[in-house]
Structure 1
């Protein structure tokens, strides 16, 4: 039986990821929970590896990176946190010597990522899925699936509270 491994928040750490992959059984399925970029030095390599070898859901860092790269290529400005904590400059620098075709390929790949993957009883998302599970396909709630915090909504009826049904 094929084993599935869910891997989260690689954040540009390509060689650490490769060390992990070597430890997985051959022919394992890998599903990544987003945030492939930022912080580490090899965001481009991580995205290329995941694109060619695994399934992935959208993470908030990936979403911001793709918007930043696309707007920069179009001569526009998109605000992105480039502080040392988030290492946006490190991510961008991993693309400095790339041709436009590869950058566009990665942008298109990130834009194609789903907010969630559901396999039988497993619901895989980058962010805070359960409170929005029953509304997972509602556009108004989708971004909450890719970020690790609740939206600005604070109404009790916005949250799923019967967690036992997911056991």
Structure 2
């Protein structure tokens, strides 16, 4: 079966939440293709295990891991050797392992394109180029040129639609839920996120 014709599930920002991700994967159909919408890394308590799990899925052909702003920040810090002390991913991996990950992170795509839809971490700029940190300017100005766009990056209480934009980061690392969205069927699957005292305003349990 052609990959583009398979059913897809776009997964919101995981941020090192390994156990919720395992629960979500056990819930989703095993033959569907998974698209991780970036920010697999940082913030959570099990970042290396989460990275290894997602990378194994990529290597097996079951998933695509998109680059988020947190992956890009780590790439930049490893390249420049500046600001590494601020990265939870670097702290949990250690220098040697982090540098082994660098070429993998550098090859992560910015966009995944399906039939009539696409996924990217945050959105597109005015020129139609992926922007890993954009928010309101994209939400307000998107003209539909790429069809439905599924994005993470900005935690919301629930999966939310803004016209042709679907926001699927539901704050798993902040005590919200980890969400997967199917562009072909409009279905949403959610599991409880990480138990945490770091509550983000407006993001609560599933």
Structure 2 length-normalised TM: 0.57
Unpaired segments of 5 or more residues in structure 2? 58-62, 149-206
Choose between structure 1 and 2: higher strand proportion.
Answer: 2
Tell me which moved more, 10-19 or 46-55: 46-55
Q: What is the alpha-carbon root mean square deviation over aligned residues? A: 3.0
Unpaired segments of 5 or more residues in structure 1? 83-87
The answer for the alignment partner of 1:27 in structure 2 is 31
CA distance in 1, matches of 2:92, 2:74: 12
Task: Report the CA distance shift for 1:31/1:41 in structure 2 as closer, same or farther (over 3 A).
Answer: same
8 Å contact 1:62–1:110 — kept in the other structure?
Answer: yes
Secondary structure of the corresponding residue to residue 50 of structure 2: helix
CA distance in 1, matches of 2:64, 2:146: 26
The answer for the alignment partner of 2:64 in structure 1 is 55
Higher relative contact order by CA 8 Å / sep ≥ 6: 1 or 2?
2
Find the structure with the greater CA-based Rg. Answer: 1
CA distance in 1, matches of 2:73, 2:91: 15
Choose between structure 1 and 2: higher helix proportion.
Answer: 1
Structure 1 length-normalised TM: 0.68
Number of equivalenced pairs: 138
Query: Which of 85, 89, 93 is the aligned partner of 1:91?
Result: 89
